[in-house]
Amino acid sequence: MKVVFLGTNGWYDTQTGNTICVLIRTTDYEIILDAGNGLYKLDRYIHEGNGKPAYLFLSHFHLDHIIGLHTLNKFNFRQGLNICGPTGTRDTLQIFINDPFTASVSQLPFSVNTYELPKESNNLPFTVEAEELNHQSLTLGYRFEIEGKVISYCPDTGFCENAIHLARSADLLIAECAYKSGQSSESWPHLNPETAATIARDAGARSLALIHFDAEIYKTLAERKEAEGVARKIFKNTFMTADDMEIDL
């Protein structure tokens, strides 16, 4: 299994990277986490000839997590694309993947199926757990159990018990780190290095990948490295992510 970090920024693109998108390559499936601008790089890894079913999991509908959807018509998913997201996903995509914003679903060169989670989780061919996180709007975190591994994805959220629950004993926890050390906001909840690391520690995760660095707050990769150092004081096996980083799991 390979994990590719296609976009690692939060809010907007900068020289440090594109907005958030992660690709999990398994033997049987291509699993995509969120559709920020990093999505446009997907065809560097997914080629038309491999024909694996593709599943895109959207955490919520803030633009930095869905703006890459306007690049869907450059791809050709031979077995179609399955888009999974929270309640309201079908209605939201009907608006956003449509005129006048972009090519409509009917114009895409592949079929699209939509699933709203957690209600329709049992319709998926692998084990997925979805829980609501602590954010300004309805946001889901995910837990995937596949090929004997557990990957947990906790994007935009403040510290919450559901994040710990999703990350329990995970081989890899991918967690946002929008704020710097000591920063927080009750009105716009996000994690900082300390809270992300505390979730990993309390959940008994094996490793923690920090992602979704707020573009206005983290202006350099060196600042991300500083956040990694802070997190490691709480949870040793922490690493910062950067665009185009690949890891084997």
Kindly report, residue by residue over 133-176, the tens digit of the pLDDT.
999 999 999 999 999 999 999 999 999 999 999 999 999 999 99
CA distances, 101 to each of 18, 93, 208, 220 (Å): 20, 11, 36, 32
Q: Which value, to the nearest 10 degrees, does the dihedral of the CA atoms of residues 240, 7, 175, 196 take? A: 50
Residue 18's pLDDT band (boundaries 50, 70, 90)?
very high
Give the percent of the chain with pLDDT over 90.
97
pTM above 0.85, yes or no: yes
- Asked if the model's pLDDT at residue 27 lies above 60, the reply is yes
Residue 51's pLDDT band (boundaries 50, 70, 90)?
confident
Q: Does domain 2-248 have CATH number 3.60.15.10?
A: yes
The widest CA-to-CA distance across the chain, in whole angstroms, is: 50
Residue 47's pLDDT band (boundaries 50, 70, 90)?
confident
